[in-house]
Amino acid sequence: MVNSSTATGISTGRLSADEYERNFGDLHPALNAHQANVEAARCYFCFDAPCVTACPTGIDIPMFIRQITTGNTTGSARTIYAQNIMGGMCARVCPTETLCEQACVRNGGEDKPVKIGFLQRYATDAYMDTGRHPFQRAGATGKKIAVAGGGPAGLSCAHRLASLGHSVTVFEAREKSGGLNEYGIAAYKATDNFAQKEIDFILSIGGIEVKNGMALGGGRDLDTLREEFDAVFLGLGQGGTNDLRLDGKDLDGVINAIDYIAELRQAPDLSGLPVGRRIVVIGGGMTAIDIAVQTKLLGAEDVTIVYRRGQAQMKASRYEQELAQTRGVNIIHWARPAELISDGNGVRAIRFEYTSPDGDGNLVETGESFELAADMVFKAIGQVFLAEALAGSEAPELVDGRIAVDADRKTSLPDVWAGGDCIDGGDDLTVAAVEDGKAAAMSIDRYLNSAAA
């Protein structure tokens, strides 16, 4: 973390307690019963619903919305959980505007899509408040599965396996489980410690033991897990970050955005977080948006995102981009970092060069540049899978630096599966990771049953 005593313009406690509470309140307050019924009534309940196809987990969206209209909120939640045990979190963080809601047949002209995400949250929140669990665990099979990584993919896999009667041990490197749901998303998207409440809900099915503070590697490598368990699932995420490759990248005030967000999410008091007056964020994905908006909410006066390509190429959805802009964040396109400038203590400014695509789509400099004053520069230029986690083991095959899997999320090793951001083709989405874990669990179950036959 940046040292606020040596970096000019960086300090703590910029806002009052009321301002922190207001700024980091729930981004989208939950629907009440009347609002949910009015919104649910807008659904056409399509037989061949494109919203279902657009959902990575395949939730029967028309069914759960129809159940809301009939007052069957419990049945609605069960319909959601049958396909997505993290339906509550996905309702909060899923980019529904580019998935199910974009596919909604009402999305056109002056009409607006049904607010599927809001309705999903309404149903799942109501169910979680009951204290019940939607699944009943099957009889014990005597089979043991190790899950490396307690993020969305790992927990989804563990839950589905437990529901099928298997015993699961989750090995999680951090003190808390949840992965990016706990450490990596903006605080205003999952308030009131919801990530951990959902984990408690998932684990309440029984048959899952979680061992925190136990990373894959050292004495607990993949070979050991394969010897001790009947199958292994790898949900390791991406533990590394891309490098700026600029002189001065280690200056005080130049920070990995994902590290700062993790500290923010765990901070008992937001007033203790150091924040600059002038913030520059490099990147165009969700992490760039999340860090930009949150530093603005912490009291930064000037926050600018700079992305090397155009608006259409940003991985952050148009909705998220507009969210940032409505919070006072500036976004500059077609520019990439060229030089970090120091004031002798820390970063003072950063110089960018304007870019444009050549005939092959590659970026070239235009010869023009500009400079932005900054006392904090956040790197949000992507994460990478750390294959060192598999060192010392017979490792699965990699493709482009990530684990290769088939359609069932099975690796090149006969008893090892993988999912989430660590696999080749993995999307940086909670809902995609949940589907990976679920698909892998079903494949593992078939493998164990065939081995026992």
Q: In Å, how far are 102, 169, 445 from 116, measured between CA atoms?
A: 10, 34, 31
Domain 144-239+385-452 and domain 241-379, same fold? Reply is yes
Structure confidence at residue 1 (pLDDT): 52
Structure confidence at residue 330 (pLDDT): 98
Asked if 352 contacts 304 with a C-beta cutoff of 8 angstroms, the reply is no
Which residues in the chain show pLDDT less than 70?
Answer: 1-8, 218-219, 453
Euclidean distance between CA atoms 335 and 418, whole angstroms: 36
Enumerate the domain spans of the chain: 33-128, 144-239+385-452, 241-379
Q: Does domain 144-239+385-452 have CATH number 3.50.50.60?
A: yes
CA angle at residue 22 from 376 to 117, to 5 degrees? Answer: 95
Secondary structure class of 282 (helix, strand, coil): strand
Residue 106, number of CB atoms within 10 A of its CB: 15
pTM of model > 0.85: yes
Structure confidence at residue 109 (pLDDT): 83
DSSP string, 71-103: T-HHHHHHHHHTT-TTHHHHHHHS-GGGTHHHH
| Number of residues in the chain | 453
In words, the CATH class of domain 33-128 is: mainly alpha
Exposure of 414 in the CB half-sphere (CA atoms within 13 A): 6
Structure confidence at residue 6 (pLDDT): 46
In words, the CATH class of domain 241-379 is: alpha beta
Structure token pair of residue 394: 């017979």
Residue 197, number of CB atoms within 10 A of its CB: 14
**C-alpha 15, offset from chain centre:** 28
